[in-house]
Amino acid sequence: MRLTSSLMAVLAALSALPAMAQEGLEIVGKPTDGEMGFQPAATELARDLQWLDGMINVIIIAIVLFVTVLLAIVAVRYNRRANATSATFTHNSPVEIAWTIIPIVILVFIGAFSLPILFKQQEIPDGEVHIKVTGYQWYWGYEYTDHDFGFDSYMIGAPATGGENRMSPEVEAQLVEAGYSKDEFLLATDTSVVVPVNKVVVMQLTGADVIHSWTIPAFGVKQDAVPGRLSQLWFKAEKEGIYFGQCSELCGQSHAYMPITVKVVSEAEYEKWLEGAIEEYAGTPRSVNVASAN
């Protein structure tokens, strides 16, 4: 009898494993306690950014070491005890030319790598999935404009889901119910952005009240959602899984409670979800879409 109950406990614990939550989808993009560095890159954009960060870090470290060595030499060789009578010259043209030219060369070198990466982010390709994102105080609204449906996305535990933006046994139960664990509090949302893997997703962003900012660190995207303007971002996620982000523009009292959940699923899973979503959110049936395209 005891064995069965402990077996049940193990099974319950296994089913609550956060790494495999949500219909077998692994949680990939998530901050981890005590860790440093970036979340695993799930797009080419994120890979480029992380590579650029590492490359510039090498340059920064080299400059810091070089300047530290120069300072140490000056402190040891030219202090009053070691060098009682100091030289009286004030200029040295070759050195001055060098310390003007070399930083320019370093900046041009960095620019030669960073500008192409910036352009890759900001030049929006033709999208295969289009989503309009609206930031509200304090939740996100998503419209799948290819199929004319939309829904709002609230943090699990936010007032709209019956919570008070605080952890409680009820909120934990809601999280578990949705396939998450209590570790995902402040990250998991009731509905999520579902996108197919390896497809170009183009998002248009705007704000309904104040400026918000939509980001998924593992995708290497972050874009302000500004009232009265429509900005764009794009990504092509290469790995199925669950990715979290948070509003990244201070937007008021509950800024911390409007996270973002993106589920990257297989093409087949996406089609299935789309059928259900079109029905649930009263979107345009796909046959009508096909007809109007002709």
Q: What residue ranges bind Cu ion (CB under 5 A)?
A: 212, 247, 251, 258
Q: Find the shortest distance in angstroms from Cβ 198 to Cu ion.
A: 29
Q: Find the shortest distance in angstroms from Cβ 132 to Cu ion.
A: 16
Q: Find the shortest distance in angstroms from Cβ 216 to Cu ion.
A: 15
> ω before 138 within 30° of 0 (cis)?
yes
Q: Find the shortest distance in angstroms from Cβ 251 to Cu ion.
A: 3
Nearest CB to Cu ion, comparing residues 133 and 251:
251
Concatenated DSSP letters for 157-200? TSGGGT--SS--HHHHHHHHHTT--GGGTTT-BSS-EEEETTS-
- Pairing type for strands 129-136 and 201-207 reads parallel
State whether residue 94 is helix, strand or coil. Answer: helix
Q: Give kind and range of the element (H or E) at residue 105.
A: helix 93-122
Residue 132's DSSP bridge partners are 143, 204
Q: Find the shortest distance in angstroms from Cβ 107 to Cu ion.
A: 34
**Helices and strands, number each (H, E), in the chain:** 6, 11
State how far the Cα of 266 lies from the Cα of 197, in Å rounded to an integer: 6
Nearest CB to Cu ion, comparing residues 258 and 274:
258
Nearest CB to Cu ion, comparing residues 196 and 259:
259
